Amino acid sequence: MMNGGQNQDVLTRLNSLKTQIEQGKNEKARAEANKETYEKQKQEIIAQLAELQVAPENLDAEIVRLDAEIQQGLAKAEQLLNSPQPAQQPAQAVTGGV
């Protein structure tokens, strides 16, 4: 009666393979949906870059340029805040007699 045990073993292995195939199909469908979502996001980003007149291949250079611009602006603001302020004239009391 070893034959019955072998048949059961084959069925178990087949069912395991069937389950793995179903899982693979599900993962493939999920990956395809994610890919579609990411492609749509990519197109939206490319459109936004076009509005800003930045080509996707120039994005890294544009980020560096903007970062430098920000650093310069911050340095200028700090310089203005740290420079000595001219002494303000005290308000003169209005004296008047009637």
The string of DSSP letters for 28-75 reads HHHHHHHHHHHHHHHHHHHHHHHHTT--GGGHHHHHHHHHHHHHHHHH
pLDDT value, residue 15: 96
Provide, rounded to the nearest whole percent, the portion of the chain with pLDDT above 90: 76
Output the pLDDT for position 68.
98
Q: Which amino acid is at 29?
A: A
pLDDT (0 to 100) of residue 88: 61
What 3-state class would DSSP assign to 96?
coil
Of 9-13, 14-18, 27-31, 86-90, minimum mean pLDDT range: 86-90
Domain positions in the chain: 8-78
Q: What is the pTM of this model?
A: 0.56
What sign results for the dihedral spanned by CA atoms 42, 45, 50, 54?
Answer: negative
